[in-house]
Amino acid sequence: MYGFVFLDLAKAFDKVPHKRLMEKVANHGIGRKLYKLIKGRLGSRKQRVCIKAFVSSWQAVLSRVPQGSVLGPVLFSIYTNDLDEDIRNFILKFADDTKVFGKVMDDKDKCKLQEDLNKLVSWAQRWKMEFNVTKCKVMHKVKDIDAFVRVQRRFTKRLPGFNNSTYAERLSRLNLPTLELRRLHSDLTWCYKVLFGCVDMHSDEFFVLSPNLQTSGHHYKLFKQRSNTRVRSSFFTERVINIWNSLPSDTVNFSSPRLLRLGLWTLEERRSRCDLIEVFKMFYGYTEIDITLDGNDTGLRGHCKKICKPRFNTDIGKYFFLKSSH
């Protein structure tokens, strides 16, 4: 099981003190000219309060980085760059949002995660920041499918008449697929829906089509990026790629499910239907085109309106209308 803690810094951009920020800017090796430019940009800001006809005196702004600018988020990232120092679990940062997560299997793992949270709180107090407790959330998620399998094993074994059967026999008698197979089916279904626009999601936000289409298989293979962490390999967008790319093109028709959902025929079916309609018109005089019946096939099974099939010495002839409509 994995524990996730989502943290949010309260009024983060407004609370960054300029004096402490410039210390970190200097420690990052920012050049002298650029350092003076940033300091002048922050030090030149003033504010005052207006209430009806009363106006206060101007006061220097001693904290806050400007939002809605290019410089603001960069300065905030510099200020919070050391937030993850000495953190033992995984941590992800984006602007004022922070996510800490790690594997939690016993009390030791719980203590390790709590120690990381204590370090983050200490960092916030030391640098005059504060976490918004009302927006901070904790989530527990089971990542190991074996935990679900153990639950299903115990449940199916308690059913009347299933006590002496093996787990595989119980699933067979109950007509239940394994959890691994169910997840695989769900992954492939959602992968198809995302790629072919069956859901309101942009496929380029999840997958990238492989630039190498010369290999065997279908033409919708996905590009798999290298992953340096075990956690990332468990993500849906990572674990489904190998299975999806291994699907053979001769057994999967990617257009049929989508056309069936939209109530449309494939182009091949539409062309065959159009050919048969034209042949029917020729037989029953709806056009001025004559058609030759095959007099040698009257004794064979089927209807009596069989057409004489012309012979061609080239492959091009098989694409002619009368050749393909037989």
- pLDDT score of 84 more than 70: yes
Round the average pLDDT of the chain to a whole number and report it.
77
Instruction: Give 226 or 83, the one with higher predicted confidence.
Output: 83
Q: What is the pLDDT of residues 29-62, one digit of tens each?
A: 888 888 888 888 787 788 889 998 898 988 887 8
- pLDDT score of 304 more than 80: no
Nearest alpha carbon to residue 90 among 185, 249, 230? 230
The rounded distance, in Å, linking the Cα atoms of 10 and 20 is 18
Q: Which residues contact 272 (CB under 8 A, 6 or more apart)?
A: none
- pLDDT score of 229 more than 70: no
Q: What is the pLDDT of residues 196-225, one digit of tens each?
A: 777 777 778 788 888 775 556 677 788 887
Strands 54-55 and 97-103 come out as unpaired
Query: In the prediction, which pLDDT does 80 show?
Result: 86
- pLDDT score of 244 more than 80: yes
Query: In the prediction, which pLDDT does 137 show?
Result: 82
Query: In the prediction, which pLDDT does 315 show?
Result: 59
Burial class (CB in 10 A: 0-12, 13-18, 19+), 146: exposed
- pLDDT score of 121 more than 70: yes
Please answer whether residues 325 and 276 qualify as being in contact, where contact means their C-beta atoms are separated by less than 8 angstroms: yes
The band of 301, judged by pLDDT with boundaries at 50, 70 and 90, is: low
Instruction: Give 65 or 263, the one with higher predicted confidence.
Output: 65
Q: What is the pLDDT of residues 68-83, one digit of tens each?
A: 778 888 888 888 888 8
SS3 294: coil
Bridge partners for 222 per DSSP: 209
- pLDDT score of 141 more than 70: no
- pLDDT score of 278 more than 80: no
Query: In the prediction, which pLDDT does 299 show?
Result: 55
Instruction: Give 203 or 256, the one with higher predicted confidence.
Output: 203
The rounded distance, in Å, linking the Cα atoms of 7 and 93 is 10
Please answer whether residues 247 and 217 qualify as being in contact, where contact means their C-beta atoms are separated by less than 8 angstroms: yes
Query: In the prediction, which pLDDT does 270 show?
Result: 67
Query: In the prediction, which pLDDT does 282 show?
Result: 74
Query: In the prediction, which pLDDT does 50 show?
Result: 92
CA dihedral 249, 226, 185, 250 (to 10 degrees): 0
| Mean pLDDT of the region 152-166 | 85
Give percent of the chain above pLDDT 70. Answer: 74
148 is written with which tokens?
């679900």
Tokens 């800017």, residue located:
25
Determine the residue type at 106.
D
Q: What is the pLDDT of residues 3-23, one digit of tens each?
A: 888 888 888 888 888 888 888
105 is written with which tokens?
């299997």
